[in-house]
Amino acid sequence: MYSVLTFVICGLASYLLGAVPFGYLIARAKGVDIRRVGSGNIGATNVARTVGKGWGLLAFLCDTAKGFVPAFFFPLIAGKFLPENAGQTLTVLCACLAVAGHNWPAYLGFKGGKGVATSAGALLGIAWEAAAIGFASWVVIFLSTRYVSVASIVTALVISVSAWMLYTDSGILMPIVLTVLGVVIIYRHKSNIQRLIKGTENRFEFGKKH
């Protein structure tokens, strides 16, 4: 009974925390409805482009934290209420629901972001080795192309492949989950992919002042 209740409470808390639209709230505090400017996305990239790079960085850190906290701390706190073999399942559940909260937030009519920063935070909480590989991949691709979308899509693929190389010794749950998260991230970038094909995707401008 306690195990089921623990899963329900942690899962719901993970979703509700993940659903907090930090990008929207930060932009709103600056007098901007982020859903009506730029790409219309509530994520950190659109905040950086339309409100300012510093505010975009703050949104990124907040979105990352809301993925990391449920994935890392919730199972740690709830561990004493669970059988020993249930810890990984709860960790994965919390990570997935935090990302789902960001992508489909109840607070904004289930219209959220692409889940890159929140997935990065969740990944850091459940699989730091894959997170490190993903971070290195993102930096290299971003600096090479200056396309945030391309870096995010390639990184999703890299992490999915890395998961099958790093985590199969303890079963296939982790590789499957990380692959699904990667697929979700790529799917959420479908509009970016269309713009890339058309040649209308915006590059990130380092020297642009806000």
- Mean pLDDT over 76-102 rounds to 87
pLDDT over threshold 50, residue 209: no
- Mean pLDDT over 2-20 rounds to 92
d(CA 38, CA 137): 26
- Mean pLDDT over 176-187 rounds to 95
Q: What average pLDDT does the chain have?
A: 92
The per-residue pLDDT for 1 is 54
Question: Could you give the angle at which helices 128-145 and 148-166 cross, rounded to 10 degrees?
Answer: 150
Computed on alpha carbons and rounded to an integer, the radius of gyration of the chain in Å comes to: 17
Name every residue whose Cβ is closer than 8 Å to that of residue 179 and which is 6 or more positions away in sequence.
160, 163, 164
Torsion of CA 58, 64, 65, 69, to 10 degrees: 170
Provide the residue count of the chain.
Answer: 210
d(CA 139, CA 92): 26
The per-residue pLDDT for 144 is 95
Give 113-146 pLDDT, tens digit per residue. 999 999 999 999 999 999 999 999 999 999 999 9
d(CA 78, CA 45): 34
pLDDT over threshold 50, residue 17: yes
- Mean pLDDT over 26-46 rounds to 93
Q: Provide the token pair at 207.
A: 């020297």
The per-residue pLDDT for 182 is 95
The per-residue pLDDT for 207 is 61
- Mean pLDDT over 49-73 rounds to 96
Q: Provide the token pair at 39.
A: 């790409």
Q: Please give the helix or strand (H or E) that residue 160 lies within, else none.
A: helix 148-166
Q: What angle do CA 69, 27, 93 make, to 5 degrees?
A: 25
For the chain, the domains span 2-198
Name every residue whose Cβ is closer than 8 Å to that of residue 102 and which is 6 or more positions away in sequence.
18, 19, 63, 66, 67, 112, 113, 115, 117, 118
pTM of the model: 0.88
> Largest alpha-carbon pair distance within the chain?
57
